[in-house]
């Protein structure tokens, strides 16, 4: 096993040395490319990075829009459920309001009938009051006649008693 590890380690070191050489070669080639057409390459690289940035921004906006859309759809479902619930409640309230309006109409009719009866009763009271005043006036007139009659009676009794005392005495 130690031999295999040692062999693998040697092989790894050789590969690392070779990869180091390859990386150096790549760097030298990149320098040469930049020297030959570096400004064009830098411009194109800048454009590519700009486009990538715009793509990333657009992706972020799309993600935000999708999240907002999902939230709006959930809110729409919730609001529709609330609207349906409130419409059912509104129908119940309207039915109750209609019943109350019917009761108000009945009460108004009852009050009108009652007012008519009160008016009739007040008219009857006024007639009876007038009749009472008339009867009272007649009674007062009769009382005066009775008092006049009593006065005459008293005078006659006095005369009679005086006449009787004069004749007896």
> pLDDT by residue (tens digit) across 154-163?
988 888 888 7
pLDDT of residue 37: 63
> pLDDT by residue (tens digit) across 45-94?
788 888 889 888 998 999 999 999 999 999 999 999 999 999 999 999 99
How many angstroms separate the CA atoms of 106 and 108, rounded? Answer: 5
pLDDT of residue 2: 79
DSSP secondary structure string for all residues of 24-45: HHHHHHHHHHHHHHHHHHHHHH
Q: What length is written for the chain?
A: 169
Rounded average pLDDT over 29-50: 75
Tell me if residue 79 falls in helix, strand or coil. helix
> pLDDT by residue (tens digit) across 81-136?
999 999 999 999 999 999 999 999 999 999 999 999 999 999 999 999 999 999 99
DSSP state of 148: H
pLDDT of 43 strictly over 80: no
């Amino acid at each position: 096993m130690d031999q295999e590890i040692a062999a693998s380690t040697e092989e790894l070191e050789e590969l690392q040395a070779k990869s180091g050489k390859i990386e150096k070669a790549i760097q030298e080639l990149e320098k040469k490319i930049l020297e030959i057409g570096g400004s064009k390459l830098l411009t194109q690289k800048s454009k590519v990075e700009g486009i990538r940035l715009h793509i990333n921004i657009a992706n972020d906006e799309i993600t935000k829009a999708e999240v907002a859309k999902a939230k709006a759809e959930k809110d729409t479902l919730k609001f529709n459920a609330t609207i349906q619930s409130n419409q059912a409640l509104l129908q119940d309230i309207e039915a109750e309001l209609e019943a109350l309006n019917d009761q108000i109409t009945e009460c108004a009719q009852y009050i009108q009938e009652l007012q008519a009866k009160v008016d009739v009763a007040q008219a009857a009271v006024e007639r009876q009051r007038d009749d009472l005043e008339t009867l009272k006036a007649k009674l007062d007139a009769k009382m005066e006649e009775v008092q006049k009659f009593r006065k005459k009676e008293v005078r006659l009794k006095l005369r009679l008693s005086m006449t009787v005392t004069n004749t007896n005495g």
